[in-house]
Each structure stands twice: as structure tokens, then as C-alpha cells.
């Protein structure tokens, strides 16, 4: 094992960093897109502060269609778009494009679910005090949903770690690429095992950290 780590250690650490970088970038941009999408889904739904059933139904279908696409198929389907955005179809930067496209509708539904947990009385109270729709969204709904949003963030991040491993199959880099090239093509089961262990450790750390943060900001635990 020591010899294995000496031989492949630098490569494993480098690709662990690449995986974390891909996941962090994809998560950030997925929330830049997905958060407003989720808010729109909630506020335009029945009983929402900007109720618009026709828009909500049409937009919901778009989100559901994007969510239903298998990630491997999505990676291939968006290759022309990926080339347009980053100038190439392989590598970590290129892998971020399908990761973001796959995660954004997923985030939208998580955000919608988080906002749905808010007590309607809080929103009604804000309306009675003369708050505008924008103020209700930014000062009431999102702050009240922060603990749930953080838990949703952990789910998104962990899901993207799994997606990033799949991205390695098409030259996306990261630990998935190491597992495929060394563990599968070269039949080095020990390298495959180490990559799996690293991924499990990363997932466990992320889950523990986000659970702790969500618990600290949850008013019900004070």
C-alpha cells in the first residue's frame, strides 16, 4: 500500500483537487441558475404571492424535462454547446458545463421544496405589514428557508460528486478519470479501491459539515 501511494499519490491528490474544483464551480453556477428558478416555481404556484398557474405549469414541465435526462446522455448531447462556451469538449472546464445544466433543475426543485416548508402565516404577516413581493422573497422566504436550503446544498454537492465521476468517462478529468484509466482499463483494482475510498471520505465530510451548519442556523435548535 505504501509503495502504491508513493507511486500514485501525487496523481490521486491532483485529481482529488480537480474533482473538488469541478464540483465547487458546478455547484456555484447551478445555484446561480437554480435558486431563481426554484423561487419562480414557488411564488407562481397556487396560493403563491405571484400566482400564475399557466406559467408555473409550463415552466415546471421545462424543469422536469431537464431533470429527466440521464447525465451520460446529457454530456454527449451538449458537446456542441460545451465547445461554444469553453472552446473544447474534454477536460475539467468542459465537464462543468453539463454538470451545471444537470444540476440547475435539480436545485430548482430542492429550492421549491425548501420554500414550501415556510409557515404561510409568516408570509401573510409580511403582506399585512406592506412588504412588496421582492421584500417577501428576499427578507422572509429565503431567510426562513436557510436551514433547509443548506441541507439541499449538501444533497446537490454530493450528487455532483457522483456526476463528476461519470464525467471522467468522457475525458472530464478528476477521480472518475483515474478510476477508469487505471482501475478499469489497466485492471489495477487497488487504484480503483483508493479512488472509491477518497470519494466516500469526501462525501462523508461534506455531509457532516453541512449537517452541522444547518443545525447551527436552524432557529428551532436555539
Helices (H) then strands (E): counts for the chain: 11, 0
- Superfamily in which the 2-221 domain is placed by CATH: MetI-like (1.10.3720.10)
**DSSP single-letter state for residue 10:** H
User: In the prediction, which pLDDT does 4 show?
Assistant: 62
Q: How far is CA 24 from CA 29, 53, 178, 187, 195, in A?
A: 9, 34, 19, 30, 19
Q: What is the pLDDT of residues 155-172, one digit of tens each?
A: 999 999 988 888 877 777
pTM (predicted TM-score): 0.88
How long is the chain?
222
- Cβ-in-10-Å burial (0-12, 13-18, 19+) of 68 comes to exposed
Q: How far apart are CA 177 and CA 197, in angstroms?
A: 15
pLDDT band at residue 220 using 50, 70 and 90 as cut-offs? low
Of 30 and 95, the one with more pLDDT:
30
For the chain, give every domain's residue range.
Answer: 2-221
Average pLDDT, integer, range 58-78: 89
User: In the prediction, which pLDDT does 153 show?
Assistant: 94
Average pLDDT of every residue of the chain:
87
Taking each helix axis from N to C end, the angle separating 92-116 and 2-43, rounded to the nearest 10 degrees, works out to: 50
pLDDT above 60 (res 48) = yes
Kindly provide the b/e burial profile for residues 163-190, where b requires at least 16 CB atoms within 10 angstroms of the residue's own CB: bbbbbbebbbbbbbbbbbebbeeeebee
User: In the prediction, which pLDDT does 173 show?
Assistant: 76
pLDDT above 70 (res 6) = no
Amino acid at each position: 500500500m505504501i509503495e502504491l501511494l508513493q507511486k500514485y499519490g501525487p496523481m490521486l491528490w491532483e485529481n482529488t483537487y480537480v474533482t473538488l474544483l469541478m464540483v465547487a464551480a458546478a455547484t456555484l453556477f447551478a445555484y446561480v441558475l437554480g435558486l431563481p428558478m426554484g423561487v419562480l416555481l414557488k411564488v407562481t404556484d397556487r396560493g403563491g404571492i405571484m400566482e400564475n398557474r399557466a406559467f408555473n405549469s409550463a415552466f415546471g414541465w421545462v424543469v422536469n424535462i431537464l431533470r429527466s435526462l440521464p447525465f451520460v446522455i446529457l454530456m454527449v448531447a451538449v458537446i456542441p454547446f460545451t465547445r461554444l462556451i469553453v472552446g473544447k469538449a474534454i477536460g475539467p472546464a468542459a465537464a462543468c458545463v453539463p454538470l451545471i445544466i444537470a444540476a440547475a433543475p435539480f436545485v430548482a426543485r430542492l429550492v421549491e421544496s425548501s420554500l414550501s416548508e415556510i409557515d404561510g402565516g409568516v408570509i401573510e404577516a409580511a403582506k399585512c405589514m406592506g412588504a412588496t413581493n421582492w421584500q417577501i422573497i428576499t427578507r422572509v422566504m429565503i431567510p426562513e428557508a436557510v436551514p433547509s436550503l443548506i441541507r439541499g446544498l449538501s444533497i446537490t454537492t454530493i450528487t455532483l460528486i457522483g456526476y463528476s465521476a461519470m464525467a471522467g468517462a468522457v475525458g472530464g478529468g478528476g477521480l472518475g478519470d483515474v478510476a477508469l484509466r487505471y482501475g478499469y482499463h489497466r485492471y489495477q483494482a487497488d487504484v480503483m479501491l483508493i479512488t472509491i475510498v477518497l470519494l466516500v471520505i469526501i462525501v462523508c465530510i461534506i455531509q457532516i459539515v453541512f449537517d452541522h451548519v444547518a443545525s447551527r442556523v436552524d432557529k428551532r435548535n436555539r
